Amino acid sequence: MKESEAIGERGEIILIEDGAGAHSHHHVQDYHKKMCIKEIDWPASSPDFNPIEIVWNMIRKKISDRRLFPSTKQAAKRAWIEEWNAIPMEKTNHLNEEINSR
């Protein structure tokens, strides 16, 4: 989202957060009301609307399908980096285009 898209027609701030506990805590909600921050409801952890969640799931699947599953923190980190780097840019561009067309 571009910065200009986060500002409503009358200059109000529009905040998009999912239903995570930290976002829905009453102190946070009270602060948003006090600061006149308009909120848009967003499904919690919704991969349908968040391309990075789809990418994380792709990486998890690739790592779990490996013959030799990483058994140390260092090996897991290396596996994540390898799989991240192996994702073709065309794939991530396609995910963004697909989600933006909804």
Residue 72, in any domain of the structure: yes
What range does the domain containing 12 cover? 3-41
Task: Say if residue 59 is in the same domain as residue 96.
Answer: yes
Q: Over the range 77-93, which residues count as b (16 or more CB within 10 Å of their CB) and which as e? A: eebbeebeeeeeeeeee
pLDDT of the residue at 10: 58
| Residues written for the chain | 102
Higher pLDDT, 93 or 75: 75
pLDDT of the residue at 35: 83
User: Residue 69 phi/psi, 5° resolution?
Assistant: -70, 135
**DSSP class of 5:** G
Task: Say if residue 55 is in the same domain as residue 93.
Answer: yes
Confidence of residue 39 (pLDDT cuts 50, 70, 90): confident
Residue 46, in any domain of the structure: no
Tokens (6 digits) for 91: 């794939």
Residue 59, in any domain of the structure: yes
Task: Say if residue 29 is in the same domain as residue 67.
Answer: no
pTM: 0.50
